[in-house]
Amino acid sequence: MTDQYEVTFIERNERSAKFLVRGVTPAFANGIRRAMIADVPTLSIDSVRVIENSSVMFDEQIALRLGLVPLTTPDDYRPDDLVTLAIDVEGPATAYSGDLVSSDEQVQPADENVPIIDLKEGQRLELEADAQLGYGKDHAKHQGGVAVGYRHLQRIDVHGEKGDFEDDKAEIIRGVIEEDGELVEAEAFDNDLSQRYPGKEVTVEGVPNAFIFDVETDGSMSVDDLVLKAVETLRLRADELEDAVRL
């Protein structure tokens, strides 16, 4: 990685972002991607105490569904910390993630409309559950980055007009291109360069050490926090390696 890097956001909201990073090697870009998926801890339900379950679904199936409900994850939680969530719903009704009541107001279901079980007349679901920090490398329910990927930034060179007998066939390109210093998403011209440069002869080349990241979180944290925490895990691991080499 170079000493200087630059980040430019193309799209950005609470849960998803698309941004350009310049000045990083392919290995470092992939390290960031892997860290966002595997190394940033999130809270997830780990154990369930069923008080009453008269639904048609086994306790274990209910527990599995609860474990996959994303929970907001405060910065101050540690691996041994627990937060308890409870639910008590009686049919006829659908039990949703929003019916979970947390012992810590900072920890809430990231989405309130995740269905857990449809309860018929006379059926009831009452239970308590403990949530704990975990890592995506250990279980998929702790993957805060649910969709994380990157592509090389690409540059288009226009050489001139095509010959009279050359077909203007589709030239498909994905992601983002750099055009006269501007960033243009390929979706703007249906990913087809022949629409962007009709009748022109073009070549496509990758911009060295420049990558477009697409990141989406499960709502357990903002996309900004996910990226920053992922980079911090890389820094800490590098420091640990440096200390080990010096011994």
Q: Which residues of 90-102 are buried (b: 16+ CB within 10 A; e: fewer)?
A: ebebebbbebbeb
Domain that includes residue 225, residue range: 6-40+145-234
**pLDDT score recorded for residue 167:** 64
224 sits in which H/E element: helix 223-246
Q: What is the pLDDT of residues 45-68, one digit of tens each?
A: 999 999 999 999 999 999 999 999
Question: Which of the listed residues 115, 134, 153 is the one where a domain comes to its end?
Answer: 134
Q: Which residues of 19-38 are buried (b: 16+ CB within 10 A; e: fewer)?
A: bbbbbbeeebbebbbbbbbb
Residue 247: inside a domain: no
**pLDDT score recorded for residue 73:** 96
Distance CA 165, CA 186 (A): 27
Asked if residue 207 and residue 156 are part of one domain, the reply reads yes
Distance CA 90, CA 122 (A): 7
Domain CATH code at residue 111: 2.170.120.12
Q: What is the DSSP string of 20-78?
A: EEES--HHHHHHHHHHHHHTS-EEEEEEEEEEEE-SSS-HHHHHHHHHTS-B---TT--
Domain total in the chain: 2
Mapping DSSP to helix (H, G, I), strand (E, B) and coil, where does residue 2 land? coil
Residue 140: inside a domain: no
Greatest Cα pair distance in the chain: 78
Q: For the chain, give the mean pLDDT.
A: 91
Question: Which of the listed residues 134, 161, 187 is the one where a domain comes to its end?
Answer: 134
For the chain, list the strands marked E by DSSP. Answer: 6-12, 16-22, 42-53, 82-90, 93-96, 101-102, 115-119, 124-134, 145-161, 176-179, 182-185, 200-217
**Per mean pLDDT, which range of 164-178, 196-210, 230-244 is the poorest?**
164-178
**pLDDT score recorded for residue 104:** 95
The residue among 118 and 245 whose pLDDT is bigger is 118
**pLDDT score recorded for residue 95:** 97
Asked if residue 90 and residue 111 are part of one domain, the reply reads yes
- State phi, psi for 12 to the nearest 5 degrees: -160, 125
Domain CATH code at residue 154: 3.30.1360.10
